Structure 1
Amino acid sequence: MDIKSAAEQLADQARRFSVFTGLTKPNPYDRFILVMGMTGSGKSTFISRCTGKDVLVGHGLYSCTDSIDVFDFNLNGRRIYLIDTPGFNDTDRSDIDTLSILASYLGASYANGVRIHGIIMLHPITGNRMSGSSLRNIEMMKAMCGFEFYNNVAIATTMWPDTTLYEDTGTLENREAELVSDQRYFGALISRGATVFRHNEKGIKNSTEEIDSGRNIVSHLIQQCEKHVPEVLQLQREITEQRKTLGETGAGIAVARDIHRAKREHEEELRRIEADMKRELAKTNSAYAANLQELKQDIEKQLRKSDREKQALRNSMQDLHHREEKIWEQRIEQMDKQFREQIAIKQEELRDMESSLDEVRRDMAQQTQDLQVKKLVAAEARNYERKIAETRKKLAAREKELRNKEEQVKQARRDAARRQSLHEKERVSSEDMQREIIVQEIRHELAAKEKKLLDMEQSLEKVRRDMARRSKHSHRKARTANDIEKRESNVKNARKEVEQAQDAHKKFSGRKAELYNGALGGVASGVASGVVAGALAAGLVCTVM
């Protein structure tokens, strides 16, 4: 979820809780419907389709509660509130905890004048048989309601497969027939007025048919509550007017039976384990003894849990309020911590991006400097090439001159050989020596020029290697220019996200009281109203007696 809208979502969640618990007076035309069913029956999906809101987001990181939530939408001019309730027989939450949550909010809601106008009970048709979880949720729903008639209850089978792909529809229809006829399942509710629906019967996900199906079920309950005045839930009367503890309510008694039965079973198992530990085998077999000890510790842990649950059954509505108060305080503190952690993460990401951007900018500045040097090096290379060309040209001319001189010396020697006069020989010898001196000078000059040429060629090669290296870097610069633009955009977006996160946390901090009061204010008010109602009821009884 976008952190920018987290604070707004929390405030909206508080508003919905405030209306549901009666702290904010609802409109007389508003309707409140419980959505019940075991975990995995499709409650969140059903509510999402009806309301057009992402219920999974509502239960996400920035959610006030992970147990019960309220979602609203408009239907035919009415504001409908769907209460997403936790399921019983859940692996992550005990039935005592689930009942405590429902008793706390439903009790406060009733005490503050808010009525439940209908109940939608969801059941997945895909189950091969009625599971213990399904039976448990049906049993607890009956215990909470205590209705004589169930005209305001809709039973909706969910998770029907796509009829274009699923061939064995007969099996599902037979399963449905068993569910609606067997008194252990939904038969008893249907015989007392409950209505059965196939939700999204064609099995097409995210379709208009799925949305219409859910809203048709809600519309049916709205029509039913116009014909049949909704009864008050037995749990609501017991916890507020009769001021019963949780364990004294009908639903609490049903849970207590299971607790007592489980405790007896654990105690019997513990006695068997302790007896086995005294036997000779346990004394001689260390592995067997260790296994027994581990089993004993597990049973003792379960017994301690049973004791805690028995203690929880003694809770009154005031106790339930204090329990929820602590949970909300912890949750708000946790959300504040989550906001701060998200801000810290985004700030760290921003610092990393800025550091990387600075490094790229330094690299690009260095490359720009290298480019300027490269131009100077290229000019130097051209100068070397020009000088080398000139030197080679001069060297070639001198080499030609040397060959001519050497040829003249050779020719003079041949001519001298033909002339035998002494005077002529002396003259030729003198001229020959002069030519030889000239030749030697030319040779020395050529050697010097060749050495200079070699030095210039080596310098040119060095300059060319430097040019090649800088040319390679120039390609890198082209990539870096594009990269730096992208990085600057990322940094800009990261800064914006940090600012949004900080702004969201600021709004959240400013609305902590609103959030807390919106949810718990109604419960606290309901506790006070319940105490007054209970006192009035008791006084009326005394007066009558």
Structure 2
Amino acid sequence: MITSSDVLIAVMGVTGSGKSTFISQLVEQEVPVGHGLRSLTAVTGVYKYHHPVYGHIHLIDTPGFDDTVFSDTDVLKNIAAFMSGSYKRGTRLTGVVYLHKITDNRLNGSSNRSINMLKKLCGDDAYKHVVLTTSMWGDGENDEAKVRRETELQADDGFWGTMQSGGSKVMRWKNNRLSASAIVEHLLECRQIYGLPTLQIQKELVEENRDLEDTSAGQEVLKELLEVRKKMSQDVQDLKKEHHNALRLKDYELAEELRKEKQEMQSKLQKTEEAQRAMRADLEQLLREKTEEFEIIQKKLCDQVAEADELAVKRDEELKKLNEDLAQSEVSYQDLRREFSEDLKKMDERDVKRARELSECQKSLKEQYEQDKRDSRRRQEELVQEIEKARGRKNLLMGLIPSVIGVGIISLGVVTANPALVASGGGLILGTASGGTVGA
């Protein structure tokens, strides 16, 4: 379980900026990218590794606000619940690593929306606890175009300029563990100098008891929702007019196409209205509505961990049996070899032909034994790889469990008294860099 003495760092950025790879280099284990469980939760995972001075460091792999599975509302609600729920429980964030691809030739809508949400989530006071990180440098650290883009990012107040002026550090991640560690070390130094930050979203939800829609980040999402709704409403009205004109002109084929298009647009409009209503929740409501969702996800993850465990056990048993068979073959071979040697000693010159036959037989037997041994070793290697894959799958799933039940446990401590889940809080599983588990 994450404790108040642990280091908690959020890794953010648009899809494809390298968040999962950045984390995997630090924890030294594979972090899934776009795995099947992405459809279950908008908080991808919490991954832990050990720092020689600061102890446990937990990295939160968060989805971007350009996510293809979840709306901005879903992403904000889950991040807000996780960040503010942990803050209310006494677990403070050390800082944020924000990743941006230096290979992006221009700032698109997704990048602008993502950086705006970062600013609203963090607030001015927390800027010095944010590292603005460029990724995808490859071998082009001296590439003039990339260096120029890096300068442009810092000069643009609409992008990184304001945050850098407010204390954010701009650093390069060179796709290796050394540069990733340097970024984390900077955040740890800031923690020593400035203490632990309180993010704007945490202050607004926990200390000021605002509804999510009344927070700075919530207002940013609502502004976009309102703009989308306004455009969609106009599109629906235009389609209605076109549909009416098509009917008047008796162009029934066009009228049917327009009717379907209008129906689809109305469905999208309804979803934006639902997203807007979903923003009307305070922290208690936000955590309460997540409780059942996290229970279901926790069960699915635990079931898959059990399956991975069972597969690893089966492969272990098969490997053990193979080793036993190999050992028995060794004993049998040595016994036969000893018998041949004894028979050869008893032979006289008249049995030279028989001796040659026995020698050929012994040679053939040895060749067969060596071939069997090679086959067995090859199968051993295959089994070891299968076991490692099964255990790796288990470790990845265990890395996901704290992210999806962390908020659930937080919410239970705040708004529910479900004894079964409270009890489960005593034995939470956390993914570690070594593949071990830590009891809560």
8 Å contact kept, 2:98–2:131 = yes
Residue 310 (structure 1) shift: 1.3
CA distance in 2, matches of 1:133, 1:173: 22
Q: What RMSD, in angstroms, separates the aligned Cα atoms of the two structures?
A: 4.3
Q: Which AA in structure 1 matches 2:14?
A: M
Match for residue 274 of structure 2? 308
8 Å contact kept, 2:77–2:286 = yes
Match for residue 290 of structure 1? 256
Residue 485 (structure 1) shift: 12
Residue 263 (structure 1) shift: 0.7
Residue 241 (structure 1) shift: 2.2
CA distance in 1, matches of 2:388, 2:104: 46
Any idea what the Cα deviations from partners look like across 1:65-105, whole Å, max 9, x if unmatched?
56232112222321322111111122221000000001111
How many equivalent pairs are there? 358
Task: Select the residue among 230, 233, 238 that pairs with 2:204.
Answer: 238
Match for residue 44 of structure 1? 20
Q: 1:126 to 1:227 in 2, by over 3 A?
A: same
8 Å contact kept, 2:46–2:402 = no
Q: Which AA in structure 2 matches 1:522?
A: I
Match for residue 47 of structure 2? 71
Q: Mark the structure with the bigger radius of gyration.
A: 1
Q: Which AA in structure 1 matches 2:158?
A: R
Q: 1:65 to 1:295 in 2, by over 3 A?
A: closer
Residue 108 (structure 1) shift: 1.0
8 Å contact kept, 1:147–1:231 = no
Q: Which AA in structure 1 matches 2:413?
A: S
- Between 1:141-150 and 1:308-317, the stretch displaced more is 141-150
Match for residue 154 of structure 2? 180
Three-state SS of the structure 1 residue aligned to 2:176 is: helix
What TM-score, normalized by structure 1, do the two folds share?
A: 0.57
CA distance in 2, matches of 1:161, 1:494: 34
CA distance in 1, matches of 2:248, 2:302: 53
What TM-score, normalized by structure 2, do the two folds share?
A: 0.69
* Matched ranges for 1:188-267 at <5 A: 188-200=162-174, 210-267=176-233
Q: 1:273 to 1:25 in 2, by over 3 A?
A: closer
Any idea what the Cα deviations from partners look like across 1:333-374, whole Å, max 9, x if unmatched?
44466579889999xxxxxxxxxxxxxxxxxxxxxxxxxxxx
Match for residue 132 of structure 2? 155
8 Å contact kept, 1:246–1:312 = no
CA distance in 2, matches of 1:325, 1:133: 30
Q: 1:109 to 1:516 in 2, by over 3 A?
A: closer
Match for residue 77 of structure 2? 100
8 Å contact kept, 2:201–2:217 = yes
Match for residue 521 of structure 1? 409
Q: Which AA in structure 1 matches 2:298?
A: I
Identity score, percent: 31
* Matched ranges for 1:393-404 at <5 A: none
8 Å contact kept, 2:134–2:173 = yes
* Matched ranges for 1:334-345 at <5 A: 334-335=300-301
Q: 1:237 to 1:526 in 2, by over 3 A?
A: farther
CA distance in 2, matches of 1:517, 1:339: 15
Residue 115 (structure 1) shift: 1.1
Three-state SS of the structure 2 residue aligned to 1:82 is: strand
Task: Select the residue among 279, 286, 293 that pairs with 1:327.
Answer: 293
Three-state SS of the structure 2 residue aligned to 1:32 is: strand
CA distance in 1, matches of 2:115, 2:43: 19
CA distance in 2, matches of 1:169, 1:192: 28
Match for residue 396 of structure 2? none
Task: Select the residue among 237, 246, 256 that pairs with 1:271.
Answer: 237
Residue 322 (structure 1) shift: 2.8
- Between 1:327-336 and 1:121-130, the stretch displaced more is 327-336
8 Å contact kept, 1:110–1:526 = no
Match for residue 338 of structure 2? none
8 Å contact kept, 1:108–1:525 = no
CA distance in 2, matches of 1:150, 1:59: 32
CA distance in 1, matches of 2:281, 2:164: 33
Q: 1:224 to 1:340 in 2, by over 3 A?
A: closer
Residue 236 (structure 1) shift: 0.8
8 Å contact kept, 1:105–1:523 = no
Of Structure 1 and Structure 2, the greater helix share is in 1
8 Å contact kept, 1:179–1:186 = yes
Three-state SS of the structure 2 residue aligned to 1:223 is: helix
Q: 1:526 to 1:54 in 2, by over 3 A?
A: farther
Match for residue 386 of structure 1? none
8 Å contact kept, 1:125–1:160 = yes
CA distance in 2, matches of 1:74, 1:301: 48
* Matched ranges for 1:54-65 at <5 A: 54-56=30-32, 65=41
CA distance in 2, matches of 1:344, 1:71: 23
1:138 aligns with 2:115: yes
Match for residue 365 of structure 1? none
Q: 1:161 to 1:518 in 2, by over 3 A?
A: closer
CA distance in 2, matches of 1:515, 1:148: 26
8 Å contact kept, 2:94–2:196 = yes
8 Å contact kept, 1:62–1:335 = no
Match for residue 442 of structure 1? none
